[in-house]
Amino acid sequence: MSGDLAQGAQVGEAQLAERLGVSRGPLREAMQRLVQEGLLHSIPHRGLFVVELSDEDVEDIYTARMAVESAAVLSILRRDDADRVADRLDKAVAKMSGAAERGDTQALSRSDLAFHELLVSESGSVRLQRMASTLLLETRMCMAALPHRYVVPGDLVTEHVEIVRAIRERDRDRAMKVIDEHMGDAVGRLSIPAAEPADA
């Protein structure tokens, strides 16, 4: 799943196998794994459906992401190569900045998630990466369902610049603070009642 299936949509095995160009055996195994991870749910005699995320789910996703990514940053800060990690993250931020300048929100969202995937992978923890994989997919589902609630591009880039700066300066307290603020801002945006206007 890449997050491009609508929440609540039924997932047909045959159609999805044809769409992805894979055989049904491996696809069936992958779909069962997504059921176990809570991304799909099975309704007897009806089939598999993409989960629908409530505001409570959104808050839970970002709370979990904050725990995972904070742990990843702490792991990075304990090592001698934090500058190397910061250099790699700077390159990811540059891609975000380019997308923001072009007004390409799809590229911006992809590069946003790629930044966080890289951040966790640099921790070296297989378990943190495994948890982040599911959480980032759920995040992608949120963003796909609520594109009009995505952050102002310039603000998003600035938030990531601050994360990298805290890592480069090995400022543990600052890093924890900016990650907490970043995740909290995301929850606030994605949980805005539908009747309220949101930033473009």
* Region at 47 (left for phi over 0; alpha for psi -120 to 50; beta for the rest): left
CATH class of residue range 55-190: mainly alpha
Q: Tell me the per-residue pLDDT of 111-138, one tens digit each, with 9 for 90 and over.
A: 999 999 999 999 999 999 999 998 998 8
pLDDT of residue 13: 67
Per the confidence metrics, is the pTM higher than 0.95? no
Overall average pLDDT of the 139-154 stretch: 67
Q: Is 176 exposed, middle or buried (0-12, 13-18, 19+ CB in 10 A)?
A: middle
- Identify the CATH assignment for 10-50 out of 1.10.10.10, 2.40.110.10, 3.90.1580.10, 3.20.190.10: 1.10.10.10
What the block records as the tokens of 143 is 């963003």
pLDDT of residue 26: 75
Q: Tell me the per-residue pLDDT of 92-117, one tens digit each, with 9 for 90 and over.
A: 999 999 999 998 888 988 999 999 99
Q: What is the mean pLDDT of the chain?
A: 82
Overall average pLDDT of the 43-59 stretch: 78
pLDDT of residue 1: 45
pLDDT band for 32, please (50, 70, 90 cuts): confident
| CA 122 distance to own-chain centroid | 16
Q: What does the alpha-carbon distance between residue 132 and residue 109 come to, in Å, rounded to a whole number?
A: 16
Residue 149, pLDDT > 60, answer: no
In the chain, residues under CATH classification 1.20.120.530 are 55-190
In the chain, residues under CATH classification 1.10.10.10 are 10-50
Q: Tell me the per-residue pLDDT of 57-94, one tens digit each, with 9 for 90 and over.
A: 889 999 999 999 999 999 999 999 999 999 999 999 99
pLDDT of residue 6: 65
| Residues in the chain, total | 200
Write the DSSP string, 15-55: HHHHHHT--HHHHHHHHHHHHHTTSEEEETTTEEEE----H
* Region at 56 (left for phi over 0; alpha for psi -120 to 50; beta for the rest): alpha
